[in-house]
Amino acid sequence: MLTDVLHNDLPWQLRSKFNNQLNNVDLNTLNSTHTNIPKIKAGRLAAQFWAAYVPCDTQNKDAVRQTLEQIDVIHRMCEKYPEDFMFATSSRDIMEAFTQNKMASLIGVEGGHSMDSSLATLRTLYQLGVRYMTLTHSCNTPWVDNWLVDTGSDPSENNGLSDFGFQVIKEMNRLGMMVDLAHVSERVMKQVLNVSEAPVIFSHSSAYGVCPHKRNVPDDILKLVKEKEGVVMVNFYNDYVTCSDKANLSQVADHFDHIKKVAGASIIGFGGDYDGVERVPEGLENVSKYPALVAELLRRNWTNEEVQMALGKNLLRVFEKVEQVRTHRKRQIRARMTPAARRCTACLC
């Protein structure tokens, strides 16, 4: 059993606790976080998307710089522990890391404010290794509404996605960057599922049918994700598991069961959200506990194939499809070019 997980906020802990000074921390002995290297090995993690997160109050200020600093610390973390981590940017890299007995380390940006409403910045983030972007965090950007709009505590500023927001989705499809709908309003979920050429993800969201929290995914959206061949990675934050401050492993498994019942096992994954939340379920205290959740699913008569799908096959399928859409788009563009333009592109004239 090896697990591919979509969302872990250890880089934020490195910033908040150590100001990103990796010389002052040893991930082999660090015990104040949900995540360290021994816990990763005990949890049998094969791949991890590290979140490059900066708070909403950086928006329209220094969000881009701070995001670059978080991307930098992820790169440096991989360089410091080359025997354990392999930096990865593709589905193929994940499989290569597996053959080397290392954990593939990938980057996701958590919040569209990190691109500062600039497609050039989005493209730069991709070049630095970012392979998914959460469209919002818990704040609106100038081009997309966040989940708090659905609670009435934030006003809708874009009626979901603005015209520029639709451009962002198209550009992410073109680049091969996964679109993450965790944190967005329900209207945005529907808009993106309608227009995205590639499958989408919910990197760390649970089932609204089990816990009616607006950060979770309603049943009708789960069915649309199924149609789009996307994936919903279940969040372990107590508030999203039970809509209270207490939860346990069995109640997390209830979300897996519900999503499977509504839309099938092909859209389910492990989202975690470790080191990004202060309350995690009893029995899932840190990343070493993933095998206990697997055991619970098997106890509930999940088949080995269904468990393997949730552990990573579903995510790999989505990642590969996003890459295929990127390749197809490139071929379409090249096919529309004149022979002279294709020759010019090839020789960089």
- Spatial separation of the C-alpha atoms in residues 328 and 235, rounded to whole Å: 32
9 noted as active-site residue: yes
- Check 137, 213, 255, 258 and give the catalytic one: 137
204 noted as active-site residue: yes
- Spatial separation of the C-alpha atoms in residues 280 and 249, rounded to whole Å: 9
- Check 34, 113, 183, 255 and give the catalytic one: 183
The answer to whether 135 touches 114, Cβ cutoff 8 Å, is no
b/e for 133-170, b at 16 or more Cβ within 10 A?
A: bbbbbebbbebbbbbbbbeeebeeebebbbeebbebbe
258 noted as active-site residue: no
The answer to whether 207 touches 258, Cβ cutoff 8 Å, is yes
The answer to whether 268 touches 26, Cβ cutoff 8 Å, is no
Alpha carbon separation from 349 to 52, 120, 261, 344 (Å, rounded): 36, 22, 55, 5
- Check 4, 273, 296, 306 and give the catalytic one: 273
Helix 186-195 to helix 219-228 angle (10° resolution) is 20
93 noted as active-site residue: no
CA geometry: angle 215, 283, 226, nearest 5 deg: 40
Residue by residue, DSSP assigns 307-344 as HHIIIIIHHHHHHHHHHHHHHHHHHHHHHHS-HHHHHH
Please name the residues in contact with 36: beta carbons below 8 A apart, sequence gap of 6 or more.
Answer: 27, 28, 29, 30
- Check 110, 145, 186, 275 and give the catalytic one: 110
- Check 34, 113, 204, 213 and give the catalytic one: 204
- Spatial separation of the C-alpha atoms in residues 328 and 240, rounded to whole Å: 37
Taken in order 25, 28, 30, 35, the sign of the CA dihedral is positive
Active site residues: 7, 9, 110, 137, 183, 204, 273
